[in-house]
Amino acid sequence: MTMSRRELIKGIGASAALTLTGAPARAQLPGGGRAKVIDIHGHYTTVPRALTEFRQRQLAEIGDGSPTLLRIILNFSDDQIRESVQQQLNFQRERGTDVTLFSPTAGAMGHHLGNEATSFVWSRICNDMIHRVCTLFPNNFIGVGQLPQSPGVSPKKCAGELERIVKQLGFVGVNINPDPSGAYWRDPPITDRFWYPLYEKLVELDVPAMLHVSASANPNFQGTGGHYIAGDTTVFMQLLMSDLFTDFPTLRLIIPHGGGAVPFHWGRYRGLAQDLKRPPLTELLKNVYFDTCVYHRPGIELMLKTIPIDNILFASEIVGAVRGVDPESGHYYDDTKRHIDAMTFLSESDRQKIFADNARRVYRLKV
């Protein structure tokens, strides 16, 4: 594909039809009596069918080398957007979540598919869709973006879209894929200087990033149970081995899915840091946070008793990786809030930190 960046941006203009020119999506909820509950990890997995069809056509066209899709105008009505998030809103109501940090489907980012131009178009469209949801439901959703990453391409090229989603769309954070090669892990570790231009921009904009892999193209790694959890664990160990936060002392990174294996193996990581003459993990915890996407009570309990409360951010990843109801409990596997509610050893202050205050601090939220 030989399209220039200028042509690309012009083509992308079509997708601007997606974006309402309203206020930024940073929701301004009135302070209420009840402590607020902020879910920092929700994906727009319920997009209108036409968006999924667009992506399928985009990838098919890459295959036959005749890209025409940039001229397609994706016209979604407000009603279509509203309809698409009804399930998300129902879950919020049922579970008692007030607001969700809402990002494009992680598995669908697919940075390994197509090329740099594919990724640029797709990311921009997905981010604009998030912005539309946040504009229609400013009390329920706050935007988090995806980036036009591509394997082997400098993350510097993502800086423009990062700036756009924060400054123009009001997003409060972004998902960075630490392995754009799709579970082949061919790019440098996230602590390599290769990635530094992205961290410079994050620091400049003062927004955090979640390190979230996308789909796996490697048959060794199933996605949501293999690549996701292995990836979370892998990036934590990369961070442990590096001086990234000496170079970026205000950078804030979130590891999703409870940090992969990390809380379960906290003793191993403490011991490895010691053996490898690295600083104690408490140093790393000045910049690294974990969400609570752990789908059974003993896991949540271990996490809350092992990781400092200030580093734990409530999340459920609805509507997401695991969608069923546990026949043993009668509750959804991903209803993580009820486990945290049930932890009697937590003080009310601890609970408020997990449900809202930590998210406010890390994401600089005004809600």
Residue whose CB is less far from its own copies, 328 or 348: 328
Q: How far is the CB of 72 from its own copies (least distance, A)?
A: 33
Stretch that binds its own copies, among 38-46, 48-56, 152-160, 186-194 (CB under 8 A): 186-194
Query: Is 215 exposed, middle or buried, given 0-12, 13-18 or 19+ CB atoms closer than 10 A?
Result: buried
Stretch that binds its own copies, among 31-39, 101-109, 202-210, 220-228 (CB under 8 A): 220-228
- DSSP annotation string for 302-350: HHHHHS-GGGEE----SSSS--PBPTTTSSBTT--HHHHHT-TTS-HHH
C-alpha to C-alpha distance for 340 and 85, rounded to whole angstroms = 25
Q: Which of 361, 358, 290, 356 is nearest to 38 (CA)?
A: 356
**Chosen residue from 34, 219, 345, 347 binding its own copies by CB under 8 A:** 219
**Chosen residue from 54, 258, 287, 367 binding its own copies by CB under 8 A:** 258
Residue whose CB is less far from its own copies, 167 or 296: 296
Backbone angles phi, psi at 78, to 5 degrees: -55, -40
Q: How far is the CB of 219 from its own copies (least distance, A)?
A: 6
In angstroms, the Cα distances linking 201 to 161, 194, 208, 248 are: 11, 13, 10, 11
Residue whose CB is less far from its own copies, 265 or 361: 265
Q: How far is the CB of 254 from its own copies (least distance, A)?
A: 17
Query: 341: phi > 0 → left, psi -120 to 50 → alpha, else beta; which?
Result: alpha
Q: Which of residues 196-215 bind its own copies (CB under 8 A)?
A: none
Residue whose CB is less far from its own copies, 57 or 266: 266
> Going by C-beta distance under 8 Å and a sequence separation of 6 or more, which residues neighbour residue 242?
189, 191
What is the tally of helices (H) and strands (E) in the chain? Answer: 15, 8
What letter represents residue 181's amino acid?
S
Q: How far is the CB of 196 from its own copies (least distance, A)?
A: 16
> Going by C-beta distance under 8 Å and a sequence separation of 6 or more, which residues neighbour residue 113?
59, 62, 119, 182
Q: Which of 169, 161, 140 is nearest to 5 (CA)?
A: 161
Please, which residues bridge with residue 290 across strands? Answer: 255, 312
- 121 belongs to the binding site for its own copies (CB under 8 A): no
Q: How far is the CB of 279 from its own copies (least distance, A)?
A: 14
Active site residue 317: yes
**Chosen residue from 20, 59, 237, 343 binding its own copies by CB under 8 A:** 237
**Chosen residue from 67, 138, 170, 189 binding its own copies by CB under 8 A:** 189
Q: Site size for its own copies, by CB under 8 A?
A: 58
**Chosen residue from 267, 330, 344, 348 binding its own copies by CB under 8 A:** 267
In angstroms, the Cα distances linking 293 to 41, 254, 322 are: 8, 12, 10
Residue whose CB is less far from its own copies, 307 or 354: 307
- 222 belongs to the binding site for its own copies (CB under 8 A): yes
- 107 belongs to the binding site for its own copies (CB under 8 A): no
Q: Which of 134, 201, 181, 188 is nearest to 365 (CA)?
A: 134
Sites of contact with its own copies (CB under 8 A):
179, 183-185, 188-189, 192, 218-222, 224-227, 229-231, 233-234, 237-238, 240-241, 257-258, 260-261, 263-272, 274-275, 294-299, 301-302, 305-306, 321-324, 326, 333-334
Enzyme catalytic residues: 317
